[in-house]
């Protein structure tokens, strides 16, 4: 199934591992997702992006956030707590995309407001398949309120 979009979506990726960020970028491209992928390396930069601070003054509001849990400075759980408690950002869907398959991380992420929790597959074909399934769900099946581009 090839997924094609009429609208370009803005995705904010919080990921401290360059190789994983590259895999997300390649998986979106391979799945023909028309997306502007904005990459930051931790929760502090993610907040700066959302609040349009400094070098992020002219960035768009993301339609979707991909969030790693294990990052320096401000980790994914701390970031999720902050944005889901802020009415300006609480409606942005957050997909936790992390290596952790620890049950307490899954439970905590959903309690903090994550829309989905995906454990990153180890190998490339499985990773690509996971992004394909994620794309199928978020970009073809989900219905969001008016004003959301997804």
The CATH classification number of 9-141 equals: 3.40.50.2300
Q: For the whole model, what pTM was predicted?
A: 0.87
Q: What SS3 state is found at 58?
A: coil
Where are the domains positioned within the chain?
A: 9-141
Q: Is the pLDDT of residue 46 over 70?
A: yes
pLDDT tens-digit profile of 70-107?
999 999 999 999 999 999 999 999 999 988 889 999 99
Say if residue 122 is exposed, middle or buried (CB neighbours under 10 Å; 0-12, 13-18, 19+): exposed
pLDDT tens-digit profile of 61-76?
998 999 999 999 999 9
DSSP state of 103: H
Question: Which stretch of 21-35, 70-84, 107-121, 132-146 has the lowest confidence by average pLDDT?
Answer: 132-146
């Amino acid at each position: 199934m090839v997924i094609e979009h009429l609208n370009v979506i803005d995705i904010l990726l919080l990921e401290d591992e360059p190789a994983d960020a590259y895999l997300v970028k390649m998986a979106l491209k391979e799945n023909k997702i028309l997306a502007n992928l904005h990459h930051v390396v931790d929760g502090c930069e993610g907040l700066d992006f959302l609040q349009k601070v400094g070098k992020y003054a002219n960035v768009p509001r993301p339609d979707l956030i991909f969030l790693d849990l294990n990052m320096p400075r401000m980790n994914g759980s701390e970031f999720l707590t902050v944005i889901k408690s802020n009415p300006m950002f609480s409606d942005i869907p957050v997909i936790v995309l992390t290596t952790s398959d620890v049950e307490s991380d899954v439970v905590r992420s959903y309690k903090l407001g994550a829309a989905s929790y995906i454990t990153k597959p180890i190998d490339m074909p499985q990773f690509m398949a996971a992004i394909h399934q994620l794309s199928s769900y978020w970009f073809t099946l989900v219905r969001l309120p008016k004003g959301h581009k997804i």
